[in-house]
Amino acid sequence: MSLNAALPRYSERVVARDRGLAAELAYGTLRLYPRLALLLDQLLERPLAAGTGLVRGLLLCGLYQLDHLRVPEYAAVASTVEAARALRHQPWAAGLVNAVLRNRQRRRAALDAALAAEPVAVHAHPAWLLERLQADWPADWPAIVEASNQQAPMMLRVNLARESRDEALARLATAGIAAAAHAQVASAVVLEHPAEVSALPGFADGRLSVQDGAGQLAAPLLAPEPGDRVLDACCAPGGKTGHLLETALGLELLALDIDATRLVRVRENLDRLGYDAELLAADAAAPADWWDGRPFERILLDAPCSATGVIRRHPDIKALRQPADIDALAARQRALLDALWPLLAPGGILLYATCSLLRAENETVIAAFLAAHPDAAELVIDADWGLALRHGRQILPGSAGLDGFYYARLLRTP
């Protein structure tokens, strides 16, 4: 389960005044997970046994507090030990937690010197991912990992069909919320400090949505015309779906997702925005099960990917993603492209998007697709954002404050 899915469920058990701290512990520990895990291995006399994941998690949170939170060391140790005492089926846990954290205090200088020689600890990224980034981005990988270790800014999307960005900024200023227009994304507003959505004037009635600026580029790149039949092939949680409906009125939009439970969130987003679309739980790679035979003028394929470009928003990716996943994801991406291409009308446009930084999921996938489909031509993306590649355009995380995204635009020739 992802952190975004798990945290709201468990936050209900935390008193309201401590929920911010709980979120900081969860996100911060996972943001530095590779470093903290390496440190913990050096502090343990022997590896923890299977079935002790909660104890390991507490130890990592304790180390994060000791090293990275502005709390007294005695309070960090005491609170973590107290939490360990709540593990009634593991009465030994409190003693182990106390010993490990105090060992960290005693050996700080020597352990820090050892960590300084370990790339995984220095960059707080798993070794396999560092190797991939170094191979794909030999000049840019240090900036990529540094940006991925930062907390991302909160960005909003203005519904330009209902008001101008200047009007939205004026309302935010009146509400005491400092914000600025993004220089490269026409619909994007960057908040100086994160805010609760309930405090955002215009959120409840669909004039504002929370979405990173990189994701806001999809709808104008696809550029649907009013009345077009559009397929949003992997739509959840629905941010790009809503933006498409804001971009061109009167679209006949079919929004697919393989997970029916995720479509609930899509429907909630569309209801808030005041738009409608046909939502369908189906596998986009198996159109024989759901397609009615009528072609689409536009297809958005926001393909499932490693999400390595959004680690700063989802730091649990560092712990969850494994090297073997990349080949499997690339195969899935190719299968989706091959399956959806016949559904596109001649003269239609398919936009391929990922939030990955890895060329195996991006440029390589598109190159192979173009080689295999003579009726596919690339429409070059000429923009002032991102980097032009042999195929497509890549945004690196932190560039102009944006998340890491890849886009390629394909035309089906007659």
* Residues taking part in catalysis: 355
**β-strand partners of 410:** 350, 378
Using N-to-C axis directions, what is the helix angle for 260-273 and 239-247, rounded to 10°? 40
* Inter-helix orientation angle 73-85/93-106, to 10°: 160
Q: Which residue stretches of 216-310 are H helix?
A: 218-222, 239-247, 260-273
Of 337, 281, 279, 277, the closest CA to residue 305 belongs to 337
Cα first-last separation, the chain? 44
H/E segment holding residue 302? strand 296-302
Provide DSSP, 125-162.
S-HHHHHHHHHH-TTTHHHHHHHHTSPPPPEEEE-TTT
> What are the CB-based long-range contacts (under 8 Å, 24+) for 49-56?
52/90, 52/93, 54/87, 54/90, 54/93, 55/84, 55/87, 55/90, 55/93, 55/96, 55/97
Enter the tokens of residue 310: 């959004």
Handedness of CA 145, 80, 72, 111 (dihedral sign): negative
Instruction: Return the percent helix, strand and coil in the chain, to nearest 5.
Output: 50, 15, 35
| Peptide bond between residue 237 and the one before it cis (omega within 30 degrees of 0) | yes
CA nearest to 206, candidates 157, 154, 277: 157
